[in-house]
Amino acid sequence: MTLKPLALWLCLGAVAYNYVGYPVLLFLLAMLHQARSDLKFLLRRESRRVSSRRPSYRPHVAILISAFNEEAVIHARVKNALESDYPSALLDILVGLDSPTDSTAEVLSRIQSPRVRVFEFQARRGKLAVLRDLAEQTSAEILILTDAETMFAPDCIRNLVRHFEDDRVGVVGGELRVVGPDGMTPVESLYWRYELILKLLETRLNCVVGVVGAVYAVRRVLFHSQKASFAEDFQLPMELRYSGRKVIYDPEATATEQPAPTFSAEFRRRIRLGAADYQILAKNPHFFNPLKGMPSFAYFSHKVLRWLSPLLLLAAFLFSIALISSPLYAGMLVAQCVFYGSAGLGYWLKRRNKSTRILSPPLYFSAMNLALLLGLIRYLSGRQTMAWEVTPRVTESEKQNSAPMKGHAATQSEN
């Protein structure tokens, strides 16, 4: 086999391994892990149901929320936090205002609760800087980091913090569910479900390498350890994982969010996330350390190959063009053109508010990889900043006046 065909198959094989092969391999490894556990049980006759967790374990917890222009959602977010079933005497809520230009501060001023503390910062510095400052304002043992548009299930906090009875645990991530305003799960959130399955399998093999930034908990004494990053919800767990701490994903610690209101808003958000991904890749070569075992394997297989997929797909397309004289590779080129053409047609239909149905998978896959590619360009150009852009949200008054918005995600208890 000559160089070009080999390169083409390697590119397509790497993408296929990332999306299909790695999940299958994880599943098989998890089965072997379970079989090993079963065998040990049969030989030693030790109960696997006994837990060392004390029902009375209730550490002091602080919820940290960094907010920019969040007037549309901040009241509901704080109200949701106050309604948690966690003991109120052990729960504080700290909101940091990253120099908002709307009425976020005014909305918060109307909330009368001694458990809610609001800190206003005059210079806009970004989410991580605000969270770091908030962490210094509390003596809570456990910090729970969340976003202004996220809604916790009543038992979310309790389920997150129960794992910290084990001193080896550094970070616990919850499950964020994307729920549309009508209570239905949008097609795009199928990707979330796919990712959650991977996290569950990785948890069983003790190799979770990231959490969802909208719902995770960390020991306060460890929160200062991360480098400056656009994606602290990945940087911090990886640093703690590589330092010997355990990172856990708990699917019972649930929260919900609404999807972005428009396809273009979600696309812009994914570009920003893509730029953050490439910063992680460029700034942390030690994450490839093979001596770390499964975490390093999961990082490469799950994350790195995902981030490289746009380049691999582009290379595969170009190699297919170069090999068009062969009927096999000409057919592969046609298949790729049909797939991307279907994505383009899906986008055309979505722009006109028409049903995309079977075109949604190629549309979302192509849009996700295009956003990653643009995110790479954004990162390399130096246009990514620590300050984030707010995804447009529906205001409270619009919710009340719009019938389709009555099924708000907060009422849909849940990535």
> Which one, of 167, 117, 106, 120, lies nearest residue 139 by Cα?
117
What confidence category does residue 230 fall into, taking pLDDT thresholds of 50, 70 and 90? confident
62 strand-pairing partners: 92, 143
C-alpha distances (whole Å) from 314 to each of 99, 109, 171, 242, 377 are: 40, 51, 36, 33, 14
CA 36 – CA 30 distance, rounded (Å): 10
CA 303 – CA 18 distance, rounded (Å): 8
The pLDDT of residue 179? 78
DSSP H or E run through 24:
helix 22-44
State the pairing for strand pair 215-219/169-178: antiparallel
HSE-up (13 A, CA, CB side) for residue 415 = 22
CA 301 – CA 15 distance, rounded (Å): 10
Question: Backbone dihedral region of 343: left (phi > 0), alpha (psi from -120 to 50 degrees) or beta?
Answer: alpha
For the stretch 298-315, pLDDT in tens is: 999 999 999 999 999 999
CA 112 – CA 118 distance, rounded (Å): 11
Q: Which residue has the higher pLDDT, 21 or 384?
A: 21
For the stretch 116-162, pLDDT in tens is: 999 999 988 888 889 999 999 999 999 999 999 999 999 999 999 99
- pLDDT over threshold 50, residue 395: no
- pLDDT over threshold 70, residue 413: no
**What structural domains and CATH numbers belong to the chain?**
1-28+262-389 (no CATH), 61-261 (3.90.550.10)
HSE-up (13 A, CA, CB side) for residue 123 = 4
DSSP assigned state of 300: I
The pLDDT of residue 353? 85
